[in-house]
């Protein structure tokens, strides 16, 4: 079963990495829309258009299932993608809410950090409100963390300072769980944990969505999912590549990969 993963750029490689770790035998095709990144600053309409185009590209490249690795795209476009295409669609938000609610119980407090688009979308409030009306959600957009991670400043003093400022409002609020609602944040999980203090469970959506996809593939086709004697083909497409890209990709993936440039990746105009 070929897994198609898309993101606004390289951040979704955190998700691809977990998928490759859990499901090495499955072929995987990744598309990162580096020509149009960031998505976290875009409007809902634009995100829907981009997400439809990204999904179409993956399906044209043989994907059997779609994984929306980008939180900003998932928060705006999941329903539209499900309506438009027949392939099963996984996204980073639902499995993270599942885990956050387990940690919070019926009346706990959940924290969310993400891009402006993700936080403003209101999807977490709506879903948590529907499933656990007694749970309180506190959220904060942390846009500066994305460029810091892409710069490779994963342990830098400046990253600690900025994380500390963003996370201060959460301190002492008795958080039961904090959702890392952006592809880039798992790379600075340790700093976030340190700054948030307390006993909050840190929810890493890259792990949660990979687990959900793995459960699905095992249920569908146990034999192929277990066929680890052979590594499935992996292809990584980006819509723009600069000299810095390879290095950023390595930071995210923890190793070198061959990147293919695709122009234009999309059927519509940008």
The yes or no reply on residue 51 touching ligand DGL (CB under 6 A) is no
Q: Has 182 been annotated as catalytic?
A: yes
Which of 11, 108, 186, 265 forms a contact with ligand DGL (CB under 6 A)?
Answer: 11
The yes or no reply on residue 78 touching ligand DGL (CB under 6 A) is no
Question: End-to-end CA distance of the chain, in Å?
Answer: 30
The yes or no reply on residue 13 touching ligand DGL (CB under 6 A) is no
Q: Of the ranges 68-76, 134-142, 209-217, 219-227, which one interacts with ligand DGL (CB under 6 A)?
A: 68-76
Which is the catalytic residue, given 13, 28, 66, 70? 70
Name the DSSP class of 3.
E
Residues 104, 50: contact at Cβ < 8 Å? Answer: no
List the beta bridge partners of residue 83: none
Which is the catalytic residue, given 3, 19, 63, 182? 182
- Give the residue with the Cβ less far from ligand DGL, 55 or 118: 118
CA distances from 53 to 17, 50, 60, 172, 241 (A): 23, 5, 11, 43, 19
Question: Which of positions 149-188 make contact with ligand DGL (CB under 6 A)?
Answer: 182-184
Q: Has 142 been annotated as catalytic?
A: no
Which of 19, 52, 68, 70 forms a contact with ligand DGL (CB under 6 A)?
Answer: 70
Q: How many CB atoms lie within 10 A of CB 222?
A: 10
Alpha carbon dihedral 39, 163, 248, 93, in 10-degree steps, equals: -50
Residues that bind ligand DGL (CB under 6 A): 7-9, 11, 37-40, 70-72, 115, 118, 146, 182-184
- Catalytic residues, which ones? 70, 182
């Amino acid at each position: 079963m070929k897994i198609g993963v898309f993101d606004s750029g390289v951040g979704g490689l955190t998700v691809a990495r977990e998928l490759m770790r859990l499901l090495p035998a499955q072929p995987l095709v990744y598309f990162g829309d580096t020509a149009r990144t960031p998505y976290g600053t875009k409007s809902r309409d634009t995100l829907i258009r981009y997400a439809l185009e990204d999904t179409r590209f993956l399906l044209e490249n043989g994907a059997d299932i779609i994984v929306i690795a980008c939180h900003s795209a998932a928060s705006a476009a999941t329903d539209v993608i499900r309506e438009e295409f027949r392939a099963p669609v996984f996204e980073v938000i639902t499995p993270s809410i599942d885990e956050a609610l387990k940690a919070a119980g019926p009346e706990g407090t959940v924290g969310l950090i993400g891009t402006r688009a993700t936080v403003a979308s209101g999807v977490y409030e709506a879903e948590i409100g529907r499933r656990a009306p007694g749970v309180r959600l506190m959220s904060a957009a942390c846009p500066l963390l994305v460029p810091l991670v892409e710069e490779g400043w994963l342990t830098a003093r400046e990253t600690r300072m900025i994380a500390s400022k963003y996370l201060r409002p959460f301190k002492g609020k008795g958080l039961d769980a904090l959702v890392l609602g952006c592809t880039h944040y798992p790379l600075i999980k340790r700093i976030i944990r340190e700054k948030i203090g307390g006993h909050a469970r840190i929810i890493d959506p890259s792990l949660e969505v990979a687990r959900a996809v793995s459960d699905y593939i095992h249920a569908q086709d146990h034999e192929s999912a277990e066929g680890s004697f052979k590594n499935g083909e992996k292809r990584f497409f980006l819509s723009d590549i600069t000299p810095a890209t390879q290095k950023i990709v390595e930071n995210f993936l923890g190793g070198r990969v061959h990147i293919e440039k695709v122009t234009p990746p999309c059927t519509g105009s940008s």
